[in-house]
Structure 1
Amino acid sequence: MESRKSIDVTAIGLMTVICLVWAMQQIGLKATEDLAAPIYQIGIRSGIAAACLFAVVALKGGTIPLTGRVALLGVVAGGLFSLEFLLVGEALRHTSAAHVVVFLYTAPIFAALGLHWHSPSERLSTLQWGGIALAGAGIVYAFLAPSGTPDEAVRWKSLLWGDGLATLAGAVWGLTTIVIRTTRLSAIPATNVLFYQLAGAFVVLTGMAWSTGQTQFSISMPLIANLVFQTAIVSLASFIAWFWMLTKYRASQLGVFSFMTPIFGVLLGVVLLGEHLAQEFVTGACAVITGIVIVSASPWLVQVIVSRLLPIVRNQFHQFTGRAL
């Protein structure tokens, strides 16, 4: 089988677009939350996307098992996916989209921790532990925004609750990754796993929306446009493109670029939604994103240092000293 290749200009361009799309989903949900509750929107988009995906797989002659052990594991993955976006939807009711996208994308940290204890081949290096410590410190510091006046204190508590929910969503996402990586789900087509997740989200989130009275749906162009974007671009096109790239390029190198998503989320939240960012959050977010990059890119960074930078250092040392390093 042909080995996956290193990232190139095409991969970088596609990853930039994909990360921008993933950042926009929180922005779109936050911008239209007064027209329809976020969890209701996520449930609707997931149901439509699941139906479309099932039809595409069937038209291509494939099958998605709906019974048996694999399907049961799919239910578990779908349940975790639903819980993740339930937490995201609730977080968006209390905090800003910029906060949600940063704390949600702590998922690689939680996945790395879980895989470290589960699989000997996934042991964390000293550098990666440093990245986790930096990200953890960033999360704590980002939570330390001053409360100010009593009214601001009430608002701050709401923001803190939303930030906590978003971080918990990141932990659930990390757990979902562990389940997929360590079970038979890793051996089935990625489109099947995506179907299980989307179908689970449709059932759980629409049910939750109905049971909690969050079914307001004010038909308008902004809401319809957002649902079309969330369904066609986020739930289908972006993930299909992501799975295609995983078959062509090295996953470790692609994962490095996921740090662009929280950066885009913060910038879009400020520019499109006019969100105010406290200095504590900005500083903490920078630490979180840096920690994520260190954890995700550690093997690649070491390879680059050893294969490219070290020879340059040796050459310069030899030129200046006349000795070999």
Structure 2
Amino acid sequence: MLERKSHLDLLAMVLLVVLCASWGLQQVAIKVASVAIPPFFQAGIRSLGATLLILIWMGLRRVPVLERDGSGWWGLLAGLLFGGEFLLIFLGLQYTSASRAVIFLYMAPFVVAIGAHLFIPGERLRVIQVVGLIAAFSGVLIIFGDALILPSKVMLTGDLMLIVAAIMWGATTVVIKASSLNQLAPSKTLLYQLSVSAVLILGVSWLANEPSVGALTPLVIGSLLFQMVWVSFVTYLTWFWLVRHYPAGRLSAFTFLTPIFGVLAGGLLLDEPLTLSLLLALICVGVGIYLVNRR
């Protein structure tokens, strides 16, 4: 029998911190790999590689791949949302700054909270949770708020793409939690998203006529493998296991840690500047997470 919990326990919180740290480090890996691998092709090839890994995993665990379980259309929708999110992120970054992109993208937890309130029984949004989400989001603003200047028309185009990407990111979690996908093995839920997004993103890469792949140094290959094996396979599989067992709104609050870990990883690995604002942001996010998950 599937055990569903109303609050996050220690195991869930530890896993979430590891996931957010991994996703923050992913930002560095993408930058490193983009020196030789075009962005769309990079995103598509990592989804394709992770699809093969999840198929092997399902085979070893004897999880049915083609079983008729009524999840096909929901799986297709989740995959399109997942792939569309990444496409809009990469496209939006061509028009707006990375700092602005982070601010707009991390509106996604609000989408999850509202969607859970409306469509997921037992996950109604309380005032204290709204306050917690705002507190956590303020941590993101502390680090990246300087980028919020009056946008040009070009920048506004990118901002709108990132806002839609955030809505798609949040909607993906709500669709999975509120539909029959929540009854599936996490591996099959992930298979839907990886396979659909691989076809979608690689197709766009081909249509966009991206430049050819450059010199594949060990560092570039390692960065791509990190994204493919650890991020797209291990951490996403863990995330969908968490989504299946724990409240979506409480989980999504932890994702505000990701940009903070991204800044920290950039400072430690790419010599990007680190300031005291990082500590203040971490405090705000920590307070926000506590309020969202407070009993």
TM-score, length basis structure 1: 0.72
Which residue in 1 is equivalent to 2:220? 223
The percent of aligned pairs where both chains have the same amino acid is: 32
Opposite residue 192 of structure 2, the aligned amino acid is: Y
Equivalent runs, 1:1-325 vs 2, <5 Å: 7-8=9-10, 13-65=14-66, 69-95=70-96, 97=98, 99-119=100-120, 121-131=122-132, 135=137, 142=145, 145-146=148-149, 161-221=157-217, 222-243=219-240, 256-273=253-270, 286=281, 290=284, 294=288, 297-298=290-291, 300-301=293-294, 303=295
Checking the alignment, whether the CA contact within 8 Å between 1:106 and 1:167 is kept in structure 2 is yes
TM-superposed deviation, 1:286: 4.4
Checking the alignment, whether the CA contact within 8 Å between 2:129 and 2:293 is kept in structure 1 is no
TM-superposed deviation, 1:166: 3.1
Checking the alignment, whether the CA contact within 8 Å between 2:40 and 2:202 is kept in structure 1 is yes
Checking the alignment, whether the CA contact within 8 Å between 1:26 and 1:97 is kept in structure 2 is no
Q: Matched residues in 2 for 1:87 and 1:262: separation?
A: 18
Checking the alignment, whether the CA contact within 8 Å between 1:92 and 1:162 is kept in structure 2 is yes
Q: 1:197-222: per-residue Cα shift (whole Å, max 9, x none)?
A: 00011100000010011252113223
Q: Which has the larger radius of gyration?
A: 1
SS at match of 1:69: coil
Q: Matched residues in 1 for 2:286 and 2:162: separation?
A: 16
SS at match of 1:225: helix
TM-superposed deviation, 1:230: 0.7
Q: 1:134-169: per-residue Cα shift (whole Å, max 9, x none)?
A: 649976x9376447xxxxx8xx76665545433332
Distance 1:229 1:291, change over 3 A: closer
Opposite residue 112 of structure 1, the aligned amino acid is: A
Structure 2 unaligned blocks of 5 or more: none
Structure 1 unaligned blocks of 5 or more: 148-152, 304-325
Checking the alignment, whether the CA contact within 8 Å between 1:252 and 1:297 is kept in structure 2 is no
Q: Matched residues in 2 for 1:199 and 1:272: separation?
A: 31
Checking the alignment, whether the CA contact within 8 Å between 2:8 and 2:293 is kept in structure 1 is no
Distance 1:271 1:299, change over 3 A: closer
Distance 1:209 1:190, change over 3 A: same
The alignment yields a C-alpha RMSD, in angstroms, of 4.0
Checking the alignment, whether the CA contact within 8 Å between 1:98 and 1:265 is kept in structure 2 is no
Opposite residue 235 of structure 1, the aligned amino acid is: S
Q: Matched residues in 2 for 1:99 and 1:235: separation?
A: 24
Checking the alignment, whether the CA contact within 8 Å between 1:185 and 1:193 is kept in structure 2 is yes
Q: 1:200-251: per-residue Cα shift (whole Å, max 9, x none)?
A: 1110000001001125211322321221111111111223344556688887
Checking the alignment, whether the CA contact within 8 Å between 1:132 and 1:292 is kept in structure 2 is no
Checking the alignment, whether the CA contact within 8 Å between 1:256 and 1:297 is kept in structure 2 is no
SS at match of 2:77: helix
Opposite residue 20 of structure 2, the aligned amino acid is: C
Checking the alignment, whether the CA contact within 8 Å between 1:65 and 1:71 is kept in structure 2 is no
Opposite residue 107 of structure 1, the aligned amino acid is: A
Distance 1:31 1:293, change over 3 A: farther
TM-score, length basis structure 2: 0.78
Q: How many residues align?
A: 289
Checking the alignment, whether the CA contact within 8 Å between 2:48 and 2:198 is kept in structure 1 is yes
Q: Matched residues in 1 for 2:8 and 2:80: separation?
A: 34
SS at match of 1:35: coil
